[in-house]
Structure 1
Amino acid sequence: MELISQEFIKPISPTPNHLIKSFEYSICDQFALSDHIPILLYYPALSDDNQQESKAINSSRLKRLKKSLSEILAHYYPLAGRLRSNNSTCVDCNDEGVPFLEAFLHNQLLEDILNNPHENYKTAKSFVPPASFESFSSSFLLLVQVTSFECGGTVVGVAPNHKILDMPSVITFLTDWATLARQDDDPNSNFMLPQLVPLAKFFPPRDNVPSVSIIAEASLTKEPCRINIYVFNPSSIANLKIKATSENITTPSRVDAVTSIVWKCLTAYSNRPSVLTYTVNLRKRVTPPMHAHHIGNFIGFAEASKQGSEKDMADMVVSLRKGLSELENKYVKRLNGNQDEAIESIQEMLRDLISLIAAGIKNDVDLYHFTSWCGFPFYDVDFGWGKPILFSSIPSKLKNVMTLIDTKDGGVKVYICLSEEDMKMLEKNTELLTYATLEASFPI
């Protein structure tokens, strides 16, 4: 991998004075960790052109990305700013810009990467700013790297900071950026960017927000851990949905089906109680519903539980849906009240989550956390040269954390991080291997 250039892309126009230094965190942003979320979008060559023509295509793509990024940053102005100190409650919207790296991968075709999933995940770190961002300050709100191949293929690596963006906000930004980039192909386009609405307008920051330090503590382990990546194809998911169906839940989703089978297999060799927490986008659950351009972190944490003796997939799906219903009744309904009541509801939800994590640290329960990125239209992010042929990420190194993402054919890919001992048990589970294929496995 050769790093060709590094520069800062600044907004095409300065942030207006009335907005400078005024992008406050919401109370949910305060609780969020300032980690970068790596998003990798793989784009094929447009044709079987020779190397010289491929270089021209890659150069054109870079020019388009830089121009449109500068334009979109004038609208998403906080992303061109910097995080302040840990005790701050707002982003410094100083227009200093987004790090933009250009790289070139020699002696390897994009096709080689795609046809070797294990090698792909080993290489994935090099498609985002180096050393897993260690050479970059966590104060950056967005990192971008574009990696070109001799064949003309391209990987666009984007790493937004979780401190002010959840996944719904991330895909909204990427969709807007791509739409703006495509305007170069249509001079008559009158695409207008909707106004951003900071969630702090509804849920402003508070002084007594629960500490996130316990989350960091929970993620630290001296145990050797391993990441496995399993793929469920559409046919297997259809069969799992049949097994997950019951009188109570007649139409389980594919996320219900995949989550329940993985949770079942994770707990197959334990008689201890197990608790599963999972993230929920709250924008459509409040009244009136919020739109995609309500920017920030606005996710809830639902909780499902099972006793060691419970093994039936359908029962586990019922538990998942019960957790969602309890989230609605206990917390979400109160978000529709006055601001003080809404903020108290969020604080209570965060305190309850921390208590649950503490129980997991003490080994009182087998605690797992699932997050699903399924349904977000990453495969529709078209900057003007077509849609990606692959969307992926760099799996989380947090123990007992699972992430579900879409495959291009409608299947589901699951990133799982477990202790080496627990992973050995999971790998022996014949029921899991009946429905899923192990795509890659590597220690961390």
Structure 2
Amino acid sequence: MVLNHVEVISREIVKPSSPTPHHRRNLKLSFLDQIAPPVYVPIILFYDQPKFGHCFDLKQSLSETLTSFYPLAGRLKSSVTVDCNDAGVEYVEAQVHALLSEVIEKPTMEELKQYLPIEPYGTVGTSMVCREVPLLLAVQVNFFKCGGMAIGITKEKIVTRRFVFDKMKLAKLKEAAATATAAASGGGGSQLKDPTRVEAVSAFIWKHFIEVAKLKSDTQRMFAAVHAVNLRSRMSSPLPDHAFGNIWRFSSALATIDNGDLVGQLRSSIKKIDSDYVKNLQNGDGYVEYLKKAKENFSKGEIELCNFSSWCRFPVYDVDYGWASQFGCAP
């Protein structure tokens, strides 16, 4: 692990290349945006000795992109409105006194934080420097002494913790999950023969979460596995994959300490996020009541939460600035 080797060279504000029209100045947040947790989530893109015209190209590209995604250059006016005032996003350049290979080999969350312009998973408005108004987007470009580069981006979104499993371990987890499901089928299990890698990993973590809780308490409790689900393809009129916004919601699977078919529970809960669910979601009042009841149950301490999200199949490895293929990615 290599720490304290990042030196910030410059920090500035980049604004949209063209002004946002006046009639688009006030953007009312959707219901999903309003109920999304107001926290920053990071992504870091690593490039091995890219061929580029230094940071001018990056800043210019960012400025032009903000013209299309103008709300990101604005400021939160209230809990329901973004002032699209072209105030800009923070752009940081930093020199890394280390080799890219040293960082990418066994990255840790503590180390990766250095390549980000804002503290990851912190509440919107908190960062490494004091600001009067919270940013919605910030970018940090890190130059390694070997010629490699890392682009760290923090955007307001949801909370997550990072786990890494290699291909062989994933195969073993899937096999173990299928075996556990088959063993539980006599008691009404789902008999899933081929769990997905997300299902297998989630069930593995959930299982051990339950086992640890069992050691700490003899009380019979319920355990909820909460999974972030992309709603774009689950609507009656599906949205494009690249549709912009917080178009996701949580599925929730419940299990007791003695429940064996965790994979089946997960798949069943995610399948419930369908077009009918989205229609009910569009009736905001009804969904708010559901959230209130869920909060009451969780506040009583009768249910413990284990939260999951997955970046599998997200095209993060396809981000190409025209230099070279991506070397790695760290959410």
> Which bin holds the TM-score, normalised by the shorter protein?
0.7 to 0.9
Q: Which stretch shows the higher mean deviation, 93-102 or 138-147?
A: 138-147
Contact 2:235/2:275 (<8 A) preserved:
no
Secondary structure in structure 1 of the residue aligned to 2:135: coil
Q: Deviations over 1:135-172 (max 9, x none)?
A: 1546211001101011111110111122xxx79xxxxx
**In structure 2, do the counterparts of structure 1 residues 356 and 289 end up closer, same or farther at CA, with 3 Å as the change threshold?**
farther
Q: How does 1:40-55 map to 2 (within 5 A)?
A: 40-46=44-50
Q: How far, CA to CA, are the matches of 2:294 and 2:46 in structure 1?
A: 36
What residue in structure 1 maps to residue 247 of structure 2?
298
Which residue of structure 1 lines up, in the alignment, with residue 114 of structure 2?
126
SS of residue paired to 1:113? helix
Tell me the equivalent position of 2:146: 151
Match of 1:36 in 2: 40
Q: CA deviation at 1:298?
A: 2.1
Identical aligned pairs, as a percentage? Answer: 36
Aligned to 1:117, what secondary structure does the other structure show? coil
Instruction: Write the distance in 2 (CA, Å) between the matches of 1:290 and 1:136.
Output: 38
Offset of 1:10 from its aligned partner?
Answer: 0.9
TM-aligned CA deviation for residue 3 of structure 1: 1.6
| Equivalent position of 1:82 in the other structure | 75
Structure 1 range deviating more: 69-78 or 325-334: 325-334
CA distance in 2, matches of 1:61, 1:320: 46
Match runs of 1:268-279 below 5 Å:
268-269=211-212, 270=214, 272-279=221-228
2:256 maps to 1:307: yes
Q: Tell me the alpha carbon deviations over residues 94-134 of structure 1, each in whole angstroms, 9 at most, x when there is no partner.
A: 0111110111112x11111123434xx33322211266624
- 1:115 — aligned with what? 105
| 2:288 equivalent to 1:347 | yes
TM-fit CA distance, 1:230 = 4.5
Does the C-alpha gap of structure 1 residues 33 and 134 become closer, same or farther in structure 2, counting only changes over 3 Å? farther
Return the alpha-carbon distance in structure 1 between the equivalents of residues 207 and 330 of structure 2. Answer: 25
SS at match of 1:284: helix
Distance 1:65 1:346, change over 3 A: farther
C-alpha distance 319-389 of structure 1, shift in aligned 2 (>3 A): same
User: How far apart in 1 are the matches of 2:104 and 2:137?
Assistant: 26
**TM-score normalised over the length of structure 1:** 0.63
Q: Is the 8 A contact 2:236 2:275 kept in 1?
A: no
Residue-pair matches, total = 303
Match of 1:368 in 2: 306
Equivalent AA in structure 2 for residue 295 of structure 1 = F
* 2:223–2:254 contact (8 Å) kept in structure 1: yes
Matched, 1:98 2:41: no
Q: Distance in 2 between matches of 1:82 and 1:115?
A: 37
In structure 2, the CA distance between the partners of 1:303 and 1:11, relative to structure 1 (3 Å rule), is: same
Which runs of structure 2 are paired with 1:329-340 in the superposition (5 Å)?
A: 331-335=277-281
- The answer to whether residue 321 in structure 2 is matched with residue 383 in structure 1 is yes
1: CA distance, partners of 2:271 / 2:143:
46
CA offsets, 1:360-409, max 9 Å, x none?
xx3x233211111222111111111223222113xxxxxxxxxxxxxxxx
Decide whether aligned partners of structure 1 residues 44 and 84 sit closer, same or farther in structure 2, where only a CA change above 3 A counts.
Answer: same
The 8 Å contact of residues 221 and 303 in structure 2, kept in 1 or not, is answered as yes
> Given that residues 276 and 305 in structure 1 are in contact (C-alpha distance below 8 angstroms), is that contact kept between their aligned partners in structure 2?
yes
Q: Which amino acid aligns with 2:285?
A: E
Structure 1, unaligned runs of 5 or more: 47-56, 168-218, 220-226, 394-444
Separation in 2 of the partners of 1:130 and 1:79? 15
1:44, 1:154 within 8 Å by CA — same for their partners in 2? yes
